[in-house]
Amino acid sequence: MRVVNELVKEGIRISLFDWNNKYILKFELGNMEQTFKVPSMDVLEESDLEALMEGQFFEEVKKRFDEMHKSLQKVTKNF
């Protein structure tokens, strides 16, 4: 597995890997993570994947983290 890029944006750690003819894009926030796999054949250049680290897609990732956090809080409320 090759690390292509790593950065932190708005508190979210973003890692991009090249592995097994796929790009793996991992977003981490606290104890939660979201992982997306994109076939290498669908990407002309690695720099094209940077679009997934910003804009509408990134906004949806942040929203999903909020939903995940609320869901986890709800289920662990009675622990």
SS3 78: coil
Complete edge-to-edge strand list for the sheet that includes strand 2-9: 2-9, 12-19, 22-29, 32-39
Mean pLDDT of 53-75: 94
Q: What DSSP designation does 54 have? A: S
d(CA 79, CA 21): 42
- Structural domains of the chain, count: 1
Q: What is the pLDDT of residue 21?
A: 94
- The token duo for 74 is 């709800």
Could you list the residue range(s) of the whole structural domain that residue 27 is in?
A: 2-76
Specify the pTM.
0.89
> Would you place residue 57 in the very low, low, confident or very high pLDDT band (cuts 50, 70, 90)?
very high
Q: φ, ψ for residue 21 (rounded to 5)?
A: 65, 25
Give me the residue label for tokens 């509408």.
56
